Amino acid sequence: MFRHILRRLLQAIPTIFGITLLSYAIMSLAPGSALGVPDDPNMRPEQRAIMRERLGLNDPWYIQYVIWLTGNDWMHPIGFKDLDMDDNGTLDASLVRYGILRGDFGRSLKYKIPAIDLYLSRLPATAELGVATLLVSMAIGIPVGIMAAIWRGGAFDNGSRVFAVVGNAVPTFWLGLLLLMFFGTALDLQWARGQQCDKTVYSRQPCPPIQMRLEYLIMPTLMLGFGGVAGYSRYMRTSMLDTIHSDYVRTARAKGLPRRAVWVRHAARNAMIPLATFLGPSIVGVVAGAPITEQIFSWPGVGRLTLEAVSGRDFPIVMVSVLVAALLTVVAYIISDIAYAIVDPRIRF
């Protein structure tokens, strides 16, 4: 097990670097600068040319990528401070970059604060929504899938299958807008219109404790949980149908065990083993955020922050979101493999 984990971690290193290279190449093709330099229309052409030269924006994109990755302080060991002194003799610290390998993602163009600090300040709000959605999806979807498999061919099974198809087919943004129009506009429920506060430490309108604003979780959780319940119920039904026809289930029924013991202790317990493969994507979904949902319900999370950064060309924020999602994906799938091996002793790496 340890050797497998170590091997997967070593394999993740080139994967992460490949993601950074591809992401930066895409950012370099987008309008603006991937190094986070605002395009000031009041800046004279000669000033803009000097600024681009000092920041290395005239270099090829792969040289800019190396600077973004490792920083530029090591490139000027002699006279670096003289290069970055302004007219008053003060060092322009914004021109000194230390690279993402040392935790420096640059400063947000819109908020004028470190991008990583802003991202981490929005993370708790996304985690609240993600955990609530995951709990609701599993608490409803898994029992529905088990009962649909037990009562296969009945009304409950047919109804759950129709619900699963509809849940996977209905766009989340359309469902969210319907919920917002019905509960927020028609019924005039203030809490259904979204959370009108900000959990970031830079906000002038901070949020109260979570126990005082649980009602704000209802609408976005319903929107995200609709598809989650459909997915878990459908997957659990398929896994349960495979399990109830196994030899050990038939043996348990032949021994005269109660039906509840057969379905719960033997069939359902083993049918949930494949759900360990869902653990990785679920962790990524908890932390990565839901941009559309957060935008519709004014949820102050990382998904909404990323969406605003993309539309506003705030490249430091975009790159933080991309790299955090990539790291979480790699780590989450490793955790998923480990969990699968723990719950199923038959698995040997």
Domain extents in the chain: 2-102, 115-343
149-153, 177-181, 184-188: least confidently modelled range = 184-188
Tell me what pLDDT residue 40 has: 58
Cα dihedral sign, 308-314-316-318: positive
- Reply yes or no on whether the pLDDT at 105 is more than 80: yes
The mean per-residue pLDDT over the stretch 188-208 comes to 58
Give Cα separations from 106 to 29, 77, 186, 203, 223 (angstroms).
19, 21, 44, 20, 34
- Yes or no: say if 76 and 83 are a contact pair by the CB < 8 Å rule: yes
- Yes or no: say if 210 and 135 are a contact pair by the CB < 8 Å rule: no
Instruction: Give percent of the chain with pLDDT exceeding 90.
Output: 2
Tell me what pLDDT residue 173 has: 80
- Reply yes or no on whether the pLDDT at 190 is more than 70: no
User: How far apart, in whole angstroms, are the C-alpha atoms of residue 211 and residue 91?
Assistant: 46
User: How far apart, in whole angstroms, are the C-alpha atoms of residue 35 and residue 314?
Assistant: 10
Ranges 74-83, 86-95, 251-260, 283-292, most confident: 251-260
Number of residues assigned to the chain: 349
The mean per-residue pLDDT over the stretch 192-209 comes to 56
Tell me what pLDDT residue 78 has: 43
pLDDT, averaged across the chain: 77
Model confidence pTM above 0.85? no
Query: Shortest CA distance to 319 belongs to which of 25, 63, 62?
Result: 25
| Category of 307 on φ-ψ map: left (φ > 0), alpha (ψ -120 to 50) or beta | alpha
6-20, 49-63, 143-157, 322-336: least confidently modelled range = 49-63
- Yes or no: say if 51 and 40 are a contact pair by the CB < 8 Å rule: no
pLDDT tens digits, residue range 254-278? Answer: 888 888 888 877 788 788 777 777 7
Q: Which H or E element spans position 285?
A: helix 279-288
Tell me what pLDDT residue 58 has: 73
User: How far apart, in whole angstroms, are the C-alpha atoms of residue 135 and residue 228?
Assistant: 10
Cα dihedral sign, 170-176-182-185: negative
- Reply yes or no on whether the pLDDT at 247 is more than 50: yes
- Find all residues with CB under 8 Å of 193, minimum gap 6, and list them: 180, 184, 297, 298
pLDDT tens digits, residue range 115-172? Answer: 888 888 888 888 888 888 888 988 999 899 988 988 888 899 899 899 888 888 888 7
User: How far apart, in whole angstroms, are the C-alpha atoms of residue 254 and residue 249?
Assistant: 9
| Residue 210 pLDDT grade (very low, low, confident, very high; cuts 50, 70, 90) | low
- Reply yes or no on whether the pLDDT at 18 is more than 80: yes
The reply to whether CATH 3.40.50.300 applies to domain 115-343 is no
Tell me what pLDDT residue 140 has: 92
34-43, 181-190, 293-302: least confidently modelled range = 34-43
The mean per-residue pLDDT over the stretch 72-79 comes to 58
- Reply yes or no on whether the pLDDT at 81 is more than 50: no
